[in-house]
Amino acid sequence: MAVKDYVRWFSGIRLADVPLVGGKNASLGELYAGLSGAGVRVPNGFALTAEAYRDALTAADAWTPLHRLLDDLDKSNVALLAERAAQARDIVYRATGTEALRTEIARAYAQLEQEYGADLAVAVRSSATAEDLPSASFAGQHESFLNVVGADSLFEACRRCFASIFTDRAISYRVDKGFDHFKVALSVGVMKMVRADRAASGVIFTLDTESGFRDVVFVTGVYGLGENIVQGAVDPDEFYVHKPTYRAGKRAVLSRSLGRKQLRMIYAAGGGTENVPVSEAERERFCISDSEVLKLAGDAIAIEEHYSKNAGHSMPMDIEWAKDADDGAIYIIQARPETVVSQRAPTGFETYALGATGKVLTTGRAVGEKIAAGPVRVIADAHRLHEFKRGEVLVADQTTPDWEPVMKIAAGIVTERGGRTCHAAIVARELGIPAVVGAEDAKSVLQTGSDVTVSCAEGDVGRVYEGALPITKTRVDLSEVKRPRTEIMLNLGDPELAFHAGMLPNDGVGLARMEFIISEHIKVHPMALVNPDKVTSPEARKEIERLVRNYPTPADYFIEKLSEGIGTIGAAFYPKPAIVRLSDFKTNEYARLLGGEGFEPKEENPMLGFRGAARYAHPAYAAGFALECAALKRVRDDMGLTNVRIMVPFCRRVDEARRVIEAMAGHGLKRGENGLEIFVMCEIPNNVILIDAFAELFDGFSIGSNDLTQLTLGVDRDSEIVAFDFDERDPGMLEMLRLAVTGAKRNKRHIGICGEAPANYPEIARFLAQLGIDSISVNPSSVLRTMQAVSEAEAAGAAPPKAAE
């Protein structure tokens, strides 16, 4: 075979060429040749085939000495592994140093220079393949070289790439996976280097990496070269884009999170790369614009659709991107099928919960949704890895592929740096263990030998608690879940739990609580953002200024944050309905928000005071209500999430309902326009008594059993001394439920319940099902139990529940 056959240009490579050029290069060829017409930019390049590797070793009689080194190798003997691996690399390095390969590499490099200019910098990456397992990825096991300039340097980098087939970790990986060392070969990819060192780069997944939810594109980005993300050296910016509404023509970022982006990897003067600090001003900004995020999302969707069509089934993708500082364009530099999260068999659900609370020692990004406890082991550097014991919690600055043997025996992982696509996160996800990444003070506050609990089951924030707390684990097999005729919906407040909750069996969201988003993600009283000059506390003013610093106005901060929270919930359940309740804080709760004290009256009984619908058209809160409406309008109009319905809470009188509906219309939320449905909470006896009048104004009702029970029985549910009289099963309360359901049915209006009574008392779920209620909405942890109770009620009928004695 002529040596020139060892070079294959991307334009002549397709996915079917994996045996020839390995998975990475086959994918680059497929991207370059198959997606350029769809507007996806891929830098040009070429591959040295796996035959180049095999033929070079054959010509050098290298196979026999390699067999002697590797056939009887015990990889658990770390010193012997390192010694033999180094000898094996030397054999390959010498074998591939032929003048024929040098000539061909120089010729191909010169052709790339003609296209892009003299002294072109290229990236050199390994691309492994196995004769009997051509789909094996071998991700992260071999070497890559960046910023390689000149034919001689390129030849040297290619030889070192070939030799990296025998790194310590690659040998260990193949043994673990059962691969024959001698049925694996290496191809080398050479590609124009995108000048991301002066711009940005990152990783994209076409699903949510924690829950496996497939209707979003997850984009991460940092300044400089993207190796820092993979290595976990920095905390990246993160963005989500919703696929279905993007395909429908809506161009909006669903949510964004500002990362610390501590370092920027740049080209070093003498070749190679180096890390330099990022200025505080740059860290305060996102590394790419919304329009660039949307361009990346569009590329990712096109790539996923292309690969899925070729495969004949849905294929979530793991994609690398880079922005070129010279031309400002976004390039895709790698794409491969995502092989961890997407492979989880959806046969059942496991949920984890803490059985007690404890002191939080540190927080970071949660990876996975599990909880684990164990003694801490702080590892300062790789030389101390031998100290690690099975079942300990690994605490480190960051991890690399060399740490994987230790990670496999860890109960949990905590790193000071990294985002949810860093090495530690990827490996933890694959191993199914909880990890908290980006916990910047972990090594100083977590002490070797002390017991901790690593919790990733509380949303996006991962927490490390002091001590070994009790952990409860529940598994439900989906085959055992019977879906009732009555819709079973979810109550939800935290957007960070939405993607996971959306994958449970459900019929949508019956109650999305806006106040959780305001208190946990916005933290500021709406009126303090409308009138920041009226905030009296210097401490509150300073904190508000910090929170809104990156926004054109304080109001923009509120609208963006609230719309992202609501939008995330709407996207997680799209196209099923997501009923979002307008803010329903009591005055004492509003006052606890930043800057809130000066805007709230002091009330003896806030439960029956200035709350719910009474606030929205009132001068004391009308400007704050306008911000809530602006956020909801952005979710429905700009994001395209028209499945979001709006619900008015604590609406005492029909005239009050009219005023609120008029105010909403004045803010662009007109009932009936663009399919907008407006619901009302049925939680005051007057809502039940005048249900015919309320039905003329609203599209549906949701029974708030907590407040309706409180007001029907005259029991303050916040008072412990009379709490024994609070019982949703009281005969009077059951009559209220009956009147509400039959009244709504009489008016052909949707009627549901969003209190926890049906979950706490299955007999109430059965009673409501017997009445023919349209939906029952409960917390995610109760959904499967409620489905079972309602299914049984529908099958057998049921008598009214009995009140507690």
Residues 221 and 241: their CA atoms lie apart, in Å, by: 14
Report CA-CA distances (Å) from 410 to 389, 407, 414, 448, 484. Answer: 8, 5, 10, 14, 42
pLDDT at 140: 59
pLDDT at 2: 44
Hey, how many other C-beta atoms are within 10 angstroms of the C-beta on 359? 8
Decide if pLDDT at 5 tops 90.
Answer: no
Any alpha helices (H) in 574-634, and if so which ranges?
587-591, 613-616, 622-633
- Give percent of the chain with pLDDT exceeding 90: 69
Decide if pLDDT at 133 tops 80.
Answer: no
pLDDT at 508: 97
Q: Over 449-481, what HEC string results?
A: CCEEEEECCCCCEEEEEECCCCEEEEEEEHHHC
Confidence of residue 720 (pLDDT cuts 50, 70, 90): low
pLDDT at 596: 92
pLDDT digits (tens, 9 = 90+) for 686-699: 999 999 999 999 99
Which residue has better confidence, 761 or 136? 761
**Token duo for residue 571:** 């996207």
Residues 503 and 499: their CA atoms lie apart, in Å, by: 7
Decide if pLDDT at 135 tops 70.
Answer: no
Q: Are strands 330-337 and 371-378 parallel, antiparallel or unpaired?
A: unpaired
Q: Please identify which residue in the block is written with the tokens 């990022």.
A: 278
Confidence of residue 268 (pLDDT cuts 50, 70, 90): confident
The DSSP symbol for 130 reads E
- Give percent of the chain with pLDDT exceeding 70: 95
| Helices and strands: H and E segment counts in the chain | 30, 30
CA 233 to chain centre: 19
Strands (E), 22-139: 45-48, 121-130
pLDDT digits (tens, 9 = 90+) for 632-646: 999 999 999 999 999
pLDDT digits (tens, 9 = 90+) for 328-363: 999 999 999 887 777 765 566 677 889 998 999 999
pLDDT at 111: 96
Confidence of residue 3 (pLDDT cuts 50, 70, 90): very low
- Judged by DSSP in three states, 671 sits in coil
Burial class (CB in 10 A: 0-12, 13-18, 19+), 267: buried
pLDDT digits (tens, 9 = 90+) for 414-462: 999 988 778 888 788 878 899 999 999 999 999 999 999 999 988 778 9
Confidence of residue 797 (pLDDT cuts 50, 70, 90): low
Instruction: Quote the longest CA-to-CA distance of the chain.
Output: 94
pLDDT at 427: 82
Confidence of residue 151 (pLDDT cuts 50, 70, 90): very high
pLDDT at 606: 87
Hey, how many other C-beta atoms are within 10 angstroms of the C-beta on 26? 26
Q: Which of 142, 181, 423, 525 is catalytic?
A: 423
The DSSP symbol for 266 reads E
pLDDT at 31: 95
What is the rounded average pLDDT for all residues in the chain?
A: 91
pLDDT at 789: 81
Residue 618 is among the residues annotated as catalytic for this protein:
no
- φ and ψ at residue 10, rounded to 5 degrees: -55, -35
Q: Which bin fits 152, alpha (ψ -120 to 50), beta or left (φ > 0)?
A: alpha
pLDDT at 802: 54
Decide if pLDDT at 745 tops 60.
Answer: yes
Residue 456 is among the residues annotated as catalytic for this protein:
no
Q: Residues near 604 by Cβ (< 8 Å), separated by ≥ 6?
A: none
CA 234 to chain centre: 17
Confidence of residue 132 (pLDDT cuts 50, 70, 90): very low
pLDDT digits (tens, 9 = 90+) for 475-516: 777 777 788 999 999 999 889 889 988 988 999 999 999 998
Residues 151 and 542: their CA atoms lie apart, in Å, by: 57
- φ and ψ at residue 521, rounded to 5 degrees: -110, -25
Q: Please identify which residue in the block is written with the tokens 């409406």.
A: 629
Residues 395 and 376: their CA atoms lie apart, in Å, by: 7
Give the long-range contacts of residues 780-784, CB within 8 A, separation 24 or more.
Answer: 780/490, 780/492, 780/497, 780/500, 780/501, 780/504, 781/351, 781/353, 782/756, 783/488, 783/490, 783/504, 783/505, 783/506, 784/349, 784/476, 784/481, 784/504, 784/505
- Residues 327, 335 contacting (CB under 8 angstroms): no
- Judged by DSSP in three states, 718 sits in coil
Decide if pLDDT at 199 tops 90.
Answer: yes
* Average of per-residue pLDDT across 567-572: 98
pLDDT digits (tens, 9 = 90+) for 295-321: 999 999 999 999 999 889 999 999 999
Preceding amide of 606 cis, omega within 30: no
Report CA-CA distances (Å) from 781 to 469, 476, 515, 529, 754. Answer: 20, 11, 20, 35, 14
pLDDT at 661: 97
